[in-house]
Amino acid sequence: MGIQMQERETGSVVRSEPILSVRAVHKTYTLGRVKVPVLHGVDLDVKQGEWVTILGASGSGKSTLLHLIGGLDRPDKKTERSASVQFRDRELTQESKRALDRYRADDIGFVFQFYHLLPELSVLENVTVGGMIKYGRLGYRAHRKQIVDRASGLLDRFGLSHRLKHRPAELSGGERQRVAIARALINEPSLLLADEPTGNLDLKTGESILDAIIEHRRDAGLTLVMVTHDERIAAKSDRVIRLIDGRVEEA
């Protein structure tokens, strides 16, 4: 088949075939009677193993786009029948809610700006809960040891092995975000979606978060789509795109 591979500066291997193809995606929110058009025909290909950074002004639809890619929301149907979000050989716009839940559990990791950890759970539980979602209650029992081992391994790698029993409230922002990253990676996703993962952190902490993601990405061959305002982070990625007036422009 002649798959081309390229060694990147980031040390990752990028394959030439896309893992994700977004075509003609429109998204309009409705607030009461007011329509808020956000995306006006987004086209985007992401190759397997690639790190794509999305830049764009606040309110330009970056989070909206990540949500559509991650199966958390759907593109408009009425305005654009040809809208397509393809992940590998799956057409996400045609899939049931249940299938999208599976897709999120099996294939996608999500990291948010504000961590979204569960306050009642310990650090370790916040990470293993992803395994529970994937395997269900019964399946989780059968896989429990494997999931707990993997969660502890990830937390150890991110320098949190001394925090396993702590609650999120007892952690710093940087530590919370590292827990959130471990949670996103627990099911070995092939695509990590990160929405301003360093946006709430000071510079140095942000860099350590980024290093954790980069290191893991290299080892796991992860594909990464990241939203950030930080041009220095963007400069490290394989490719930068901008959302302008609801469309993608290559930067």
How many contiguous H segments (helices) and E segments (strands) does the chain have? Answer: 6, 12
Q: Which does 176 bind (CB under 5 to 8 A by kind): Mg ion, ligand ADP, none?
A: none
Q: Which of 6, 17, 29, 99 binds ligand ADP (CB under 6 A)?
A: 29
Q: Are 198 and 234 in contact (CB under 8 A)?
A: no
What are the residue ranges of helices labelled H in the chain? Answer: 62-69, 97-107, 123-157, 173-185, 203-220, 231-236
Min. distance of Cβ 177 from ligand ADP in angstroms?
18
Query: Which is nearer to ligand ADP, 35 or 98 (by Cβ)?
Result: 35
Task: At 7, list the tokens.
Answer: 């060694």
Q: Tell me which residue of 33, 111, 114, 29 sits closest to 66, measured CA to CA.
A: 111
Does 225 participate in binding ligand ADP (rule CB under 6 A)?
Answer: no
Min. distance of Cβ 217 from ligand ADP in angstroms?
22
Does 70 participate in binding ligand ADP (rule CB under 6 A)?
Answer: no
Q: Are 158 and 182 in contact (CB under 8 A)?
A: yes
Task: At 171, list the tokens.
Answer: 């952690």
Query: Which is nearer to Mg ion, 125 or 230 (by Cβ)?
Result: 230
Q: Are 196 and 188 in contact (CB under 8 A)?
A: no
Does 61 participate in binding ligand ADP (rule CB under 6 A)?
Answer: yes
Does 235 participate in binding ligand ADP (rule CB under 6 A)?
Answer: no
Q: Which of 12, 48, 53, 63 binds ligand ADP (CB under 6 A)?
A: 63
Task: At 108, list the tokens.
Answer: 């996608």
* Location of structure tokens 């990241």: 226
**Amino acid identity of 5?**
M
Q: Which of 11, 16, 17, 36 binds ligand ADP (CB under 6 A)?
A: 36
Q: Which of 62, 104, 150, 176 binds ligand ADP (CB under 6 A)?
A: 62
Q: Contacts with Mg ion in 184-213 (CB under 5 A)? A: none
Min. distance of Cβ 244 from ligand ADP in angstroms?
11
> From CA 46, how far away is CA 51, in angstroms rounded?
8
Tell me the number of residues near ligand ADP by CB under 6 A. Answer: 12
Q: Which does 225 bind (CB under 5 to 8 A by kind): Mg ion, ligand ADP, none?
A: none
Does 228 participate in binding Mg ion (rule CB under 5 A)?
Answer: no
Q: Which of 12, 53, 60, 63 binds Mg ion (CB under 5 A)?
A: 63
Could you write out the DSSP letters of every residue in 3-53? Answer: --EEE-TTS-EEESSEEEEEEEEEEEEEETTEEEEEEEEEEEEEETT-EEE
Does 38 participate in binding ligand ADP (rule CB under 6 A)?
Answer: yes
Q: In what order do the strands lie in the sheet with 90-91?
A: 34-47, 18-31, 84-87, 90-91
Residues that bind ligand ADP (CB under 6 A): 29, 31, 36, 38, 56, 58-64
